[in-house]
Amino acid sequence: MEDAEHNENALAAGASRSVGEHGSRLSDLEQPASLTEEQQRKLADAQAILGYTFTHQQLLLSAITHPSATEGRSVKYSYERLEFLGDSILGAIVSTIAFDRFTELDEGGLTRIKVALVSGSSLSSVAEKLGFADVIVFGSSETGTGKRGLHSALENVYEAVVAALYLDGGLDVAIDFVESTLVPRMSISMAREPENPKSALQEKLQEDGITPTYKLVETQGPPHDRTFVAQVFAGSQGLARGTGRTKKEAESQAAKSTLARLGEFFGLGMDKQAKAEKAEAAKLAKAEKAEAAKLAKAEKAAAKAEMKARKKSEQDRLWPLK
């Protein structure tokens, strides 16, 4: 445990140094020059929720700003870039806490806890309870839509806020936020009974020595209203696809679809009897296909011979031998 504490302290020290190095990068993120009344109100409300006052308030403003509100402006003014960074920081924080808390769990159990805790449904639920739904700045294109992307926006804003806190105050500030809002949900039951389809699929496929991977195969819609399509792969074999408002949601749906259709993919996850039945069915189908191909070939040859004979008969009629 002393080694774990030493490593965490070293990580914190390194993070503190890196935050100092962010100074030049944050030079253009000082107090925003001019804010709308809505931005001012939501910025103040967000800081009240967090119990933290930002030195670089543009970081927080970007973290709570939906891409639909920054059309035509630099991507740094919405939460998209911060979400990317926050996802990695959040993963590291959750992994470290789970590692220290559950000392008897193996890699699989720790992974299931992490995946369940940082899932889209988990983050959006926490963000909603914190009141983030009331502080997100949406653009006019979202007006009248019932905030159709609210679920994914809440998830993205939570991750973006983690990154903003890290950049503005350092790793300790980000850890405090995650520990007080997300970590209370962490429990050993997450390791025993995976609630996330990706964890369930990984466990199922690993019984056959297969580790699933995920690839983003398509992105649809404008930047502020995107839909992602992800596909599960077992080695080089593509399995089911899934769609979602976020990449995580798309991957989760792909995993869920794959779980429901394991029997269609090489008998993955099936018992020996089911595999034998599937193999026999495949064998019969192959034989039937071969027989059908043979019959079609014979019919084609017969038709060709008949056509040839008819042509010869027609020629003999038109040009009889003398």
The CA–CA distances, whole Å, from 38 to 56, 134, 260, 263, 322 equal 18, 11, 45, 53, 105
E-assigned strands of 142-296? 212-220, 227-234, 237-244
Which are the contacts of 33, defined by CB distance < 8 A and separation ≥ 6?
none
83 is in an annotated binding site: yes
Dist CA 142 CA 226 (whole Å): 13
Known catalytic residue: 218? no
Nearest Cα residue to 118 out of 204, 202, 46, 183: 183
Which are the contacts of 9, defined by CB distance < 8 A and separation ≥ 6?
none
Dist CA 81 CA 185 (whole Å): 26
Catalytic choice (80, 87, 249, 251): 87
Known catalytic residue: 159? yes
Packing angle between helix 150-169 and helix 37-50, nearest 10 degrees?
Answer: 70
Dist CA 69 CA 179 (whole Å): 30
132 strand-pairing partners: none
Catalytic choice (80, 142, 155, 159): 159
5 is in an annotated binding site: no
Burial string for 290-304 (b: 16+ CB within 10 Å, else e) reads eeeeeeeeeeeeeee
Dist CA 32 CA 121 (whole Å): 32
Annotated binding site for Mg(2+): 83, 156, 159
Annotated binding site: 83, 156, 159
Active site residues: 87, 159
